[in-house]
Amino acid sequence: MYPLTAGLIVESKELWEELKAALEPLGIRLVFESPQLPEAWMPFLERIDRVQPDVILVEVTRLKEPLEAVVKRLRSTSAQPAVFALHNSAQPDLILSALRAGASEFLYPPVAEPLKQALERLAEARQKAGEKVPWGGKTIGFLSAKGGCGATTIACHVAKALAGLNAGKVLLADIDLQAGIIGFLLKTNSDYSLADAVNNLQRLDLSYWRGLVSNGTPNLEVLTAPTAPAAKQLPSGHVKQVLAFARSHYDWSVIDMGRNVRAGTLSLLDVIDETYLVTTSEVPALHQAKQIIQILLDAGYSRSQLRLVLNRTTRRTDVTINELETIIGIPVHATIVNDFETFYQAFSEGRLVDSSSVPGQDFARLAAKIAGVTEPVRKKRFSLFG
Ligand SMILES: Nc1ncnc2c1ncn2[C@@H]1O[C@H](COP(=O)(O)OP(=O)(O)O)[C@@H](O)[C@H]1O
Ligand SMILES: [Mg+2]
């Protein structure tokens, strides 16, 4: 489901508990909660403007103001949230006036099922609207066909190269909960990670976010993966909310998705515009790559969103690009040269490889292709696969 954010204005304790229980499994991010409508509207509306909820769930059981005025006010904010009216019992006369007032739903206990359906309808509508108007920046994921193919290496270097293109702000986010290593590779020394974002979705705004990411390179901020064993299980619905938040604040979000695909990975796909599957030309990696592509396509991911990156290419090879494309079934989007020495040297000095090195130029070319700008001309080209 398209990630939604919601605000709650609910007074009855039972209703509030019922709602929380119904919202939890849907991965809806709550951006504010309040027991009642405000005395002073201005600061309240400003707050709504800041947190931009997709929907406000407002209890209308004991309303002190005319319903129509309340709905109008809530909808007058820049987020133009949908308003769902809630009542602790069915009230046929109120249902009609709530809907007339501009509420899109009127819900009463048991709320779980009708609420789920209403949110699904809203998510669908928001997604359709989002398809017309580009929704925030672009999110690109790097996925390793098999551990060790180079997804992390490429994600780091491409993020840095994208930042160097001055094509906007770039986030590099490590969501590889098993083997997240970006914090170490980039020497971020951050005390915070993706787990802090996930565990504090409710307070997630720009000022909180700034405390979580680290920066050292202009235009580039980094969100690391958690290292504590307890944080290695994060609900993918919540990770998705974090990615959706990131996309609204960065021009580019580069995501290290780790290796292989799990159910969690699949559920993230609707916030990932392009997935760069990184493989080498080794047979086991090719086998895995082919399987992963099939899984992604079966899950409804579009072929046009899939990119194959062939890493560690050498002059000597048993298989040509054409043969490889036939085996895998999608074109090779980019190649990165094999260069053990350069990586070894850079990593042992605690830095990324220079942009002028041969792999550095491959990363720059890939970044330029991603950003849609003219590709830099390579100084030296390993002609590979003829
Ligand atoms: N093009 C390359 N040439 C040489 N070594 C590479 C190249 N790409 C990656 N490596 C090395 O391969 C190892 C695994 O890379 P990594 O990015 O961690 O893989 P993954 O994230 O796919 O598991 C690292 O030691 C990295 O330095
Ligand atoms: Mg990795």
pLDDT at 135 over 80: no
Ligand nearest the Cα atom of residue 288? 1
pLDDT tier for residue 351 given thresholds of 50, 70 and 90: very high
Assess whether pLDDT exceeds 90 at residue 107. yes
Nearest CA to ligand 1 atom 17: 150
Question: Phi, psi at residue 16, to the nearest 5°?
Answer: -60, -45
Q: Are 72 and 198 part of one and the same domain? A: no
Would you say residue 366 has pLDDT above 60? yes
65 is in which domain, residue-wise? 5-132
Q: Are residues 149 and 87 in the same domain?
A: no
**How do residues 196-228 score in pLDDT, each as one tens digit?**
999 998 888 889 999 999 988 999 999 999 988
For the cut 50, the answer to whether the pLDDT of residue 132 exceeds it is no
- Whether residue 179 is found in the same domain as residue 317: yes
Question: pLDDT tens digit string along 245-258?
Answer: 999 899 999 999 99
CB 249 within 8 A of CB 243: no
pLDDT top residue among 318 and 158: 158
| Ligand 1 pocket member 311 (CB < 6 A) | yes
Cβ(148) – ligand 1 distance below 6 Å: yes
Determine, yes or no, domain membership for 192: yes
**C-alpha 272 – ligand 1 centre gap (Å):** 23
Token pair belonging to 191: 């005390």
State whether the beta carbon of 164 lies less than 6 angstroms from ligand 1: no
pLDDT higher than threshold 50 for residue 30: yes
Please report where in the chains the tokens 């890493």 appear, as a residue.
Answer: 311
Q: How far is the CA of 152 from the centre of ligand 2 (A)?
A: 4
Same domain membership, residue 247 and residue 165: yes
pLDDT score at 376: 55
Give the number of the atom of ligand 1 that is nearest the alpha carbon of residue 359: 1
238 and 215 inside one domain: yes
- Mean pLDDT across 131-139: 67
For residues 265-287, average pLDDT:
93
Does the pTM of the predicted model rise above 0.85?
no
Q: Give the pLDDT mean for 364-381.
A: 77
Q: Distance of alpha carbon 37 from its chain centroid, rounded?
A: 32
- Same domain, yes or no, for 248 and 307? yes
Assess whether 24 and 57 both reside in one domain.
yes
Q: Which of 111, 132, 153 is the last residue of a domain?
A: 132
Query: For residue 145, is it within any domain?
Result: yes
Residue 258 Cβ contacting ligand 1 at under 6 Å: no
Cβ–ligand 1 distance for 343 under 6 Å, the answer yes
**26-30, 112-116, 216-220, 243-247: the lowest-pLDDT one:** 26-30
CATH code (residue 104): 3.40.50.2300
Return the pLDDT at 270: 82
Confidence of residue 133 (pLDDT cuts 50, 70, 90): very low
Residue 144 CA, closest ligand 1 atom number: 22
User: In the predicted model, what is the mean pLDDT of residues 312-325?
Assistant: 85
Site to substitute for ligand 1 among 146, 149, 153, most atoms within 8 A of C-beta: 153
The reply to whether 253 and 276 lie within a common domain is yes
What confidence score (pLDDT) does residue 263 get? 80
Ligand 1 proximity of 312 Cβ (cutoff 6 Å): yes
Asked if pLDDT for residue 41 goes beyond 80, the answer is yes
Radius of gyration of the chain (CA): 24
Are residues 171 and 213 in contact, defined by beta-carbon separation less than 8 angstroms? yes
What is the pLDDT, as a whole number, of residue 386? 39
Which residue owns the Cα nearest ligand 1 atom 3?
338
Query: pLDDT value at position 131?
Result: 56
Question: What mean pLDDT comes out for the span 7-19?
Answer: 94
Check residue 134 and give its pLDDT. 46
3-state SS, the chain, equals: CCCCEEEEECCCHHHHHHHHHHHHHHCCEEEEEECCCCCCHHHHHHHHHHHCCCEEEEECCCCCCCHHHHHHHHHCCCCCCEEEEECCCCCHHHHHHHHHCCCCEEECCCCHHHHHHHHHHHHHHHHHHHHHCCCCCEEEEEEECCCCCCHHHHHHHHHHHHHHCCCCCEEEEECCCCCCCHHHHCCCCCCCCHHHHHHCHHHCCHHHHHHHCEEEECCEEEECCCCCHHHHCCCHHHHHHHHHHHHCCCCEEEEEEEECCCHHHHHHHHHCCEEEEEECCCHHHHHHHHHHHHHHHHCCCCHHHEEEEEEEECCCCCCCHHHHHHHHCCCEEEEEECCHHHHHHHHHCCCCCCCCCHHHHHHHHHHHHHHCCCCCCCCCCCCCCC
Q: Are 184 and 347 in contact (CB under 8 A)?
A: no
Q: Is the model's pLDDT at 139 over the cut of 80?
A: yes
Q: Does residue 259 lie in a domain region?
A: yes
Ligand 1 binding pocket includes 143 (Cβ within 6 Å): no
- Number of separate domains in the chain: 2
- Across the beta sheet with 82-86, what order do the strands follow? 29-34, 5-9, 55-59, 82-86, 105-107
